[in-house]
Amino acid sequence: MTSDTRSRTVTIDGVTIHLAHPDRLDLRWIGQSDLIAQLHACWLVLDERDLPLTPRLIGKPGVGKTTLAYAAAQALGKETYIFQATMDTRPEDLLITPVVAEAGKIQYVASSVVTAMLTGGVVILDEGNRMSEKAWASLAPLLDNRRYIESIVAGIKVKAHPDFRFVATMNDDSSTYEIPEYIHSRLQPQIFLDFPDKDEELLILKENLPFVDERILTYMADFLERCHAQDEPFTVRDGINISRYVAKRLKMAPHDVKSLFREAVTKVLGATAIRYLP
């Protein structure tokens, strides 16, 4: 395999592959530091006979699974790539896609998964339980001790760099597709993310909304704590949207803050959520 870092291409068995660019996000993990340690443990290699694990992060939408994975990768100083899975994801979307370039020539473009494999980066397969079994099957040899993929469209086999690391996130809700057991057995261990406690949620709100009055954020954190106590699925992501709406409405004109919260909660979560307002 040869590579050209300036044009971000590699050549494998005479086939030139164009690489994706890493994701650069302004994300910071605020929460249990032990979750970072658990993910780092999965990626640790003890000696040359050992292999990294391919874990999955499980939790309700909005609890910070992607943020955790990204922060863990950045803490190791590794390039990080995020692949957003959907019910329409095809095997070639996960691997290598042919596109028409200049003069009608076919150009092969690596997905974020394959780019991470070739560069020794971390790939976050986001919301993996949205993908079909056919899509997952194309990753099966990558997720065990073989650590390679086979691209039918490019006619090549791609081996993963020794530094390549993988993590999948999955929402703890109804999935579009049932993931087959042979994939479940490869995505181990499972790391569960629960709702943060009130103090952590307030810190997350402040981190994401430093321009919003702290009284609004404290009120929001109280609301979320009441929701969690009743096992409602509302998350800090909902709290951020509600708080932003309230702050924007206050910026436009003076309002009663409590009435604005009722309005915002109704618009974001529905009228039944109003009963949890402090």
Query: What would the pLDDT profile of 89-112 be if each residue is shown by its tens digit?
Result: 999 999 999 998 877 889 999 999
CA–CA dist 153, 45 (Å, integer): 32
Q: Which pLDDT band, with edges at 50, 70 and 90, does 51 fall under?
A: very high
pTM, full prediction: 0.89
- Under 8 Å between Cβ of 70 and 110: no
How crowded is the C-beta side of 173, counted as CA atoms within 13 Å? Answer: 11
Helix or strand holding residue 136 (H, E): helix 133-137
Q: Give the count of alpha carbons within 13 A of 276, CB side only.
A: 23
Provide the residue ranges of all domains of the chain, joining segments of one domain with +: 2-192, 198-276
pLDDT of residue 7: 65
Averaged over 157-178, what is the pLDDT?
A: 88
Strand partners, 99: 107
Is 196 a residue whose pLDDT tops 60? yes
Structure tokens given for 216: 């609004």
Q: Which fold has domain 2-192?
A: Rossmann fold (3.40.50)
pLDDT above 80 (res 6): no
pLDDT band at residue 179 under the 50/70/90 scheme = confident
The pLDDT score that the predictor gives to residue 178 is: 81
Assign 5 a pLDDT band (cuts: 50, 70, 90): low
The pLDDT value given to residue 4: 64
pLDDT at 27 over 80: yes
How high does pLDDT run on average in the chain? 93
Q: Are 78 and 192 in contact (CB under 8 A)?
A: no
